[in-house]
A and B are shown apart, each in its own frame.
Chain A
Amino acid sequence: MRDGVLITGISGNLGRTLAKVLHRTERVIGLDRRPFPGKPKDLEVHLIDIRKRKVEDLFRKGDIKALIHMAIVHDPRLAQAEHHSFNVLGTKAVLEYASRYGVEKVVVLSSTNVYGPQPDNDNFLTEESPLLGSQRFPEIRDLVEVDMYAQQYMWKHPKVETAIVRPVHIVGPNVKNAPSTYLRLKYPWTLAGFDPMVQLIHEEDVALALSLALKPGVRGLFNLVGPGELPLSSVLRELGRQPIPVPHMIARPLLNKLFDYRLAGFPGAELDHLQFLCTVDGGRAERELGFRPVYTLRETIRSVLGEVAPRVQRTTAA
């Protein structure tokens, strides 16, 4: 019987959150090369690198009805070649297996980084906006490529219901991505004279949206927006941070140098997010997925402090 939901990258912080939401109602199968700490007993996790042939065996059994692909790394410290190979080849492999072995639904986790912060961006980018993310930040071109590959796949395999989900900056008590790490800094840099509007989404709200994307009939591209948008300065004020404004002319080369000497966790190109808009319209996910964030704006911001109690029960009960 086809009842399995395969989650790639399940041992990541977001993957574990999703697994905990989904495994009550679905038979979840995990795939990751890293172990899953605190794994629920009834959860089946395979420790395999996504590029290995053995992954095909998981599909060959024929009991997978849906694939949620979130094994996409974004680590600026990782060698470019490894980054590219893991993301692009990994995606290509699992998506091919999905169509070959009759998986009905594929959900790919992308992000709004594929649009990229630009000075002339619309205030609310729609799913049809061009993916210019790698124009100013070439190191993320594999993330754009993964998104494009998934779109191409959506057209090539009309029998597989494919949904590409692009959430805004994911934050939460568990995630350790660039935005969360930045917001946990006591003295974060800002760019002097810039204060763009930003959108944040709670990790559990992303998990909720991904589970909604499993509904039959859902296909296409979906921006995922949290509970609204606000200036970066208001986020930092809410968290009680003491920002250090740095002139943008020197900030970028300086941060690049610090990153090279391993004194900073972000390359200079990430500063674009502190300077320009990369905010999106989440209307389609609201209409077609029925997605509404559970966490309020204040709760979402404060979640990086790890103080808001998780609401997994409430979201699944609703």
Chain B
Amino acid sequence: MAHPPQSTALARYEPERPRGLFGRVRSAMEKWTYRQGGADLEARLARLVAPQNEYGVDPFGLELEFTKAAIAPALWLYKNYFRVECHGIENVPAGRVMLLANHSGQLPLDGMMLGISMLVEAEPPRVCRAMVEKWAPTLPFIAPFFARVGQVVGTPENCRRLLAAGETIMVFPEGTRGLNKTYEKKYQLQEFGLGFMRLALETQTPIVPVAVVGAEEQSQALWDFKSVARLLGLPALPITATVIPFPLPVKYHLHFGAPMKFTGRHDDEDSELERKVREVKAQLQSMMDRGVQSRRSIF
């Protein structure tokens, strides 16, 4: 397998602080992050490592200093709006790991909350890489934002490289099928892709199933305008109670399961991979069911 790209940087550089309006906004945001998390969070975030060069970015374009400022609003949502509660986060091992979660809620806030949990609660703290949709790089402002906070286009090669470098990645095998499903299908896992299993086998990566409970109710889609979506070239066009999706202040629970390790050939027939994928799916479904039963209220 190809070696992960190494930065030529050997020393830790003190990156130049940006000046002007952008610089001021950034330092204000960074202060907001620390205000919410206290000295404890500041110490945790200082432990983040990335092979940064003298311009403060890693080979994939992640900029830690930018990330620390950019997470402030997400951290506010995490602490005050969704009041995220993590269960069993100690199941997430250090080093190479694949977090595999159910996807729901019309807006991918579940991914955002899972990412924040890796920064503020997991041990060691880390920037979790989501494998974003292939059209994300065509969106102005969003594309560079994603890159600076460590999100990477979800090609198999990128995933392989990140795992080989010992990173934590986040996968939603349901994709938009899960994200944009209508309300009557809540807490029912949709069809899984097989790609994640091939990569996990190839790189011998443990899979940690994560049941996200709460997000399924945040923005309830009544029906999906499939014909209009097709016309507009969108994956789905869900109509929610608020017409356009607006997340309700539901309470999030993140249940982390024990790491699942699989062995076998990554280039095996689909039927063999499907059997392994079904095992992961069944495990995640039972974790979701238990999570729904054990919570007291949606809010």
Q: Are A and B genuine complex partners?
A: yes
Determine the chain B residues whose CB is within 8 A of the CB of A194 once the complex forms: 140, 143-144
Query: Shortest Cβ distance from B205 into chain A, in angstroms?
Result: 18
Determine the chain B residues whose CB is within 8 A of the CB of A277 once the complex forms: 137
- The answer to whether A120 and B155 have CB atoms under 8 Å apart is yes
Within 128-159 of B, Cβ neighbours of A (below 8 Å) are at 134-135, 137-144, 147-148, 152-153, 155, 157-158
Query: Shortest Cβ distance from A234 into chain B, in angstroms?
Result: 4
The one of B5, B9, B147, B153 that contacts A120, using a Cβ cutoff of 8 Å: B153
Alpha-carbon gap, A228 to B56, bound state (A): 12
Instruction: Evaluate whether A119 and B8 lie within 8 angstroms (CB atoms) in the complex, with A193-B143, A228-B59, A230-B55 already known.
Output: no
- The answer to whether A124 and B161 have CB atoms under 8 Å apart is yes
Within 45-92 of B, Cβ neighbours of A (below 8 Å) are at 53-55, 57, 59-61
Within 8 Å of chain A (Cβ to Cβ): is B188?
no
Alpha-carbon gap, A17 to B297, bound state (A): 72
How many chain A residues have a CB neighbour from B under 8 Å? 32
- The answer to whether A119 and B140 have CB atoms under 8 Å apart is no
Within 277-303 of A, Cβ neighbours of B (below 8 Å) are at 277, 281-283, 293, 296-298
Determine the chain B residues whose CB is within 8 A of the CB of A197 once the complex forms: 57, 59-61, 147
Determine the chain B residues whose CB is within 8 A of the CB of A191 once the complex forms: 140
- The answer to whether A283 and B5 have CB atoms under 8 Å apart is yes
Alpha-carbon gap, A194 to B137, bound state (A): 9
Determine the chain A residues whose CB is within 8 A of the CB of B7 once the complex forms: 228
How many chain B residues have a CB neighbour from A under 8 Å? 31
Alpha-carbon gap, A276 to B139, bound state (A): 11
Residue of B nearest to A277 (CB): B137
Alpha-carbon gap, A193 to B139, bound state (A): 8
- The answer to whether A195 and B144 have CB atoms under 8 Å apart is yes
Residue of A nearest to B138 (CB): A119
Per-residue CB contact flags for chain B residues 30-53 toward chain A (1 = under 8 Å, else 0) read 000000000000000000000001
Query: Shortest Cβ distance from A118 into chain B, in angstroms?
Result: 9
Residue of A nearest to B60 (CB): A123
Determine the chain A residues whose CB is within 8 A of the CB of B61 once the complex forms: 123, 197, 229, 231
Within 8 Å of chain B (Cβ to Cβ): is A176?
no
Main secondary structure of the interface of A (DSSP, over half): loop
Within 8 Å of chain B (Cβ to Cβ): is A134?
no
Query: Shortest Cβ distance from A3 into chain B, in angstroms?
Result: 36
Per-residue CB contact flags for chain A residues 215-253 toward chain B (1 = under 8 Å, else 0) read 000000000000111110010001000000001100000
Determine the chain A residues whose CB is within 8 A of the CB of B138 once the complex forms: 119
Query: Shortest Cβ distance from B177 into chain A, in angstroms?
Result: 20
Within 8 Å of chain B (Cβ to Cβ): is A44?
no
Instruction: Evaluate whether A281 and B5 lie within 8 angstroms (CB atoms) in the complex, with A123-B152, A298-B54 already known.
Output: yes
Alpha-carbon gap, A163 to B20, bound state (A): 48
Query: Shortest Cβ distance from B174 into chain A, in angstroms?
Result: 20
Alpha-carbon gap, A194 to B148, bound state (A): 12
- The answer to whether A124 and B59 have CB atoms under 8 Å apart is yes
Alpha-carbon gap, A297 to B53, bound state (A): 9
Given contact pairs A229-B57, A231-B61, A276-B137, enumerate 4 new A-B contacts (beta carbons under 8 Å): A228-B7, A231-B144, A234-B57, A247-B140
A-binding residues in B (CB < 8 A): 2-3, 5, 7-9, 53-55, 57, 59-61, 134-135, 137-144, 147-148, 152-153, 155, 157-158, 161
Closest 10 CB pairs of A and B: A193-B140, A193-B141, A195-B144, A120-B134, A122-B157, A119-B137, A234-B55, A230-B55, A119-B138, A197-B61
